[in-house]
Amino acid sequence: MSENNPPINRPLETQRRAIVVGASSGLGAALARRLAARGYRVAAVARREAELAALRDSAGPGLICPYVHDVTETEQVPLLFDQITRDLGGLDLIIYAAAVQPPVKLNEYDFAKDEAMIRTNLLGAIAWLNQAAARFERARAGQIVGISSIAGDRGRVGSPVYNAGKAGLDTYLEALRNRLSRHGVTVTTIKPGFIDTELLKNAARTFWVVSPDEAAALTLAAVDRRRQLAYVPPRWRLVSLAVRVMPSFVFRRLSF
């Protein structure tokens, strides 16, 4: 399952440890690379072994440790989480970035696609972040980050279940935050707009597109500030506000 290198010897500092789930490409890979550049030891979790190996090789020795895992196999998560935290020697930060968004036509109701999105985008997040929440609550420290989407702010006509899954993730993360804040644990919800990744191919129209690396930099800036909620880039907050206050009879006429 893993290809681990010995930790770097840092006698004058404590090496921080992170898990990035959904790390083989896009924003997840960019986050793993940036964390490694900061000196974190990163467990990179994803399905695609070749991409994980390339990610490992792009960083310094021992900084990125790949773990091949399909997040829909939720029964594997407790044992794998324990293995990773033992391999890393602890855990300070977990980021759940795994997501799928197959193309969905406006007149399409395909349960197989819907189930895949819920299992990856929501249930996978719950399986991984529950493990981290229990550990961090006991330790009274730690940071949890969930990569949601502006798509979760309202029920759009395009890809209803993608929207629903992200809305469910938002509520789950808020509930974790309300539980864990009293124990010294930070939970951050990241809500990106359009990022130049594979998911962008299924968007009907795009604007304000940013690179995965730019989105990763903005995400980690929010993590550093221990923000509860951050839109990436921040200007999407204004779009979200407009969308959320729009009357339903107006919103339903929109085609996105």
Q: How many CA atoms lie within 13 A of 130 on its CB side?
A: 10
Average pLDDT value for residue range 29-41: 97
240 pLDDT more than 90: no
As given in the structure block, the two tokens for residue 169 are 């993730």
> What's the pLDDT tens digit per position in 128-159?
999 999 999 999 999 999 999 998 888 888 88
Instruction: Give the model's pLDDT for residue 13.
Output: 56
> What's the pLDDT tens digit per position in 167-213?
999 999 999 999 999 999 999 999 998 888 776 666 656 667 899 99
Instruction: Give the model's pLDDT for residue 101.
Output: 92
Residues near 229 by beta carbon (within 8 Å), at least 6 away in sequence: 188, 189, 191
> What's the pLDDT tens digit per position in 203-220?
656 667 899 999 999 999
Average pLDDT value for residue range 115-137: 98
Q: Please tell me the distance from the alpha carbon of residue 95 to that of residue 73, in angstroms, as a whole number.
A: 18
Active site residues: 162
Question: Which residue type, as a one-letter code, is found at position 73?
Answer: E
Could you tell me if residue 232 is left (phi over 0), alpha (psi between -120 and 50 degrees) or otherwise beta? beta
9 pLDDT more than 60: no
Q: Please tell me the distance from the alpha carbon of residue 71 to that of residue 87, in angstroms, as a whole number.
A: 19
The yes/no answer on whether domain 17-251 falls in CATH 3.40.50.720 is yes
**Residue-range domain boundaries for the chain:** 17-251
Q: Sorting pLDDT into bands at 50, 70 and 90, what band is 85?
A: very high
Beta bridge partners of 231: 191
Average pLDDT value for residue range 6-18: 64
> What's the pLDDT tens digit per position in 67-77?
999 999 999 99
